[in-house]
Amino acid sequence: MHQKVLILDFGSQYTQLIARRIRELNIYSEIIPYNKAPESLEAYKAVILSGSPHSVRGENPPKIDLTKYRQNLPLLGICYGAQYLASEAGGEVKPSKIREYGRANLTQIEQTSALMQGVELNSQVWMSHSDTISALPVTCKKIASTADVENAAFVFENEQTFGIQFHPEVYHSTDGIKVLENFLVQIAHFDQDWTPNAFVEETVEDLKAQIQGDSVILGLSGGVDSTVAAVLLHKAIGDRLHCIFVNNGLLRKNEFEQVLEQYKGFGLNVKGVDAGARFLSELEGVSDPEQKRKTIGRVFVDVFDSESKLVSDAKWLAQGTIYPDVIESVSATGGPSATIKSHHNVGGLPDYMKLKVVEPLRKLFKDEVRRIGATLGIAPSILGRHPFPGPGLGIRILGDITSDKVRMLQEVDAIFIDGLKKWELYDKVWQAGAMLLPVQSVGVMGDERTYENCVALRAVESTDGMTADWVNFPHEFLQSISNEIINKVKGVNRVVYDISSKPPATIEWE
């Protein structure tokens, strides 16, 4: 059993990034909502209290019994967690004079503090709060400040209990990983043994024990997640894994045939099911984004229900669900975070489908999945494939879906993706695609007036999909792609490029 960090989630959208940063240190972390905290702490070696959209000064702020944690395990409060520690111990939390959001620099550091050792003076940190700790409890000692935040970090004297007002988990906190390493390795004395090799070995053994002699059906997509899940399962149960690749009519151009060809060298049982006409029929007249997702998910499950009956001893449905899917569909493990959007492969199966769900990647971020895939020997060309949403082009066609719109967007998308590869930009991008907008605009082509469709190109840089920045492509590339799309794709006379980051936008438009 690996030593574990317990992260108590108070509802912050950054909570998942805490887990990811900790895993970069080869330490396993587990997120549990504050209101479902475990009765026993025997499985944990340290505890972290997350941030929160709530205020400790509010009417019903999230609360836990701190006596259960303080002096029992090393304890670190981040942002709201720090304010809660200070407030409950007799300190004072007041509204900030200004909302402290964005970059700041550490102007004072207590270098003798175990938490702050090796953190550079004037190093950048990321603030995101509207309250501030105006007075520390008498039992606390300040260990860091910024120009605007006097009590940016503190420690309870004679305890391994710390609070930090900034967010060490985000990229913008340049020494944030060092703070987490100090807390977990130097203070809590974790062994850094949660590695890709260890994950593979343990997951294969867990899958053998979970599935035993049953057969499993896996929904294959051709992407990184389902491929890694398939290879892990094949390693555990061999030919009792039955992979099904469904054409939902919303795939990229020629993708159905290409993916089936791709898997011929894997030694997997793979069956292609062309259900495109069925999906498009069910989607006729549906324009609401959530309804589209749910319709696609429902038909997807129906197809698998039919296919599962053709495998006599199939008891399980395997999916390549990963952590961001779960986070954005429901608060992680049922906690207080806000729902952003539903995912077709999250949330279980209807009662009539007599399959149990197995999701070997459910707790992994995308970059972790790629590392696991490399350990399993999967080709870089597959591991480097851009993420593609389960509902496919269905959520890249804004408004209702028709077969003509699908064909139009497939052509646009193919030109964009092929262009990225020709310009040697594909591997520098996390995810890219085109959106067909419910907008028509006037144009001039061949001295004639046109009134045709507008498409938006989208490309982002990211490491885990939780946050993302738009890619600043060379203007010459965008000009070339725009010209090619307008010249070759009938029905499109305008191309725009999306320069929104996540947050506040999401990567997909729906």
Q: Which residues are catalytic?
A: 79, 167, 169
Task: Give the number of residues written for the chain.
Answer: 510
DSSP 189: -
The angle, 0 to 180 degrees and rounded to 10, between the axes of the packed helices 289-308 and 276-283 is: 140
* Residue 319 burial (10 A CB sphere; 0-12, 13-18, 19+): buried
Other CB atoms closer than 10 Å to residue 259's CB: what's the count? Answer: 21
Q: Do residues 35 and 180 make contact, with C-beta atoms less than 8 angstroms apart?
A: no
Burial string for 236-247 (b: 16+ CB within 10 Å, else e) reads: bbeebbbbbbbb
What residues form DSSP beta bridges with 106? 146
Taking each continuous run of H as one helix and of E as one strand, the counts in the chain are: 13, 18
Q: Which helix (H) or strand (E) holds 431?
A: strand 431-445
Q: Cα–Cα distance between 249 and 256 in angstroms, integer?
A: 9
DSSP assignment of 6-19: EEEE-S-TTHHHHH
CA atoms within 13 A on the CB side of 83: 30
Q: How many whole angstroms separate alpha carbon 323 and alpha carbon 479?
A: 36
Radius of gyration of the chain (CA): 25
d(CA 45, CA 303): 45
> Could you tell me if 193 and 40 are in contact, meaning their C-beta atoms sit under 8 angstroms apart?
no
CA 127 to CA 61: how far, in whole Å? 20
Q: Which residue has the tokens 């949660």?
A: 194
> b/e string for 483-505 if b means 16 or more Cβ within 10 A?
ebbbeebebbbbbbebeeebeee
Q: How far apart, in Å, do the first and last CA atoms of the chain sit?
A: 40
Nearest to 84 by CA among 57, 122, 47: 57
Rounded to 10 deg, the angle between the 15-24 and 366-375 helix axes is 30
Distance CA 125, CA 47 (A): 22
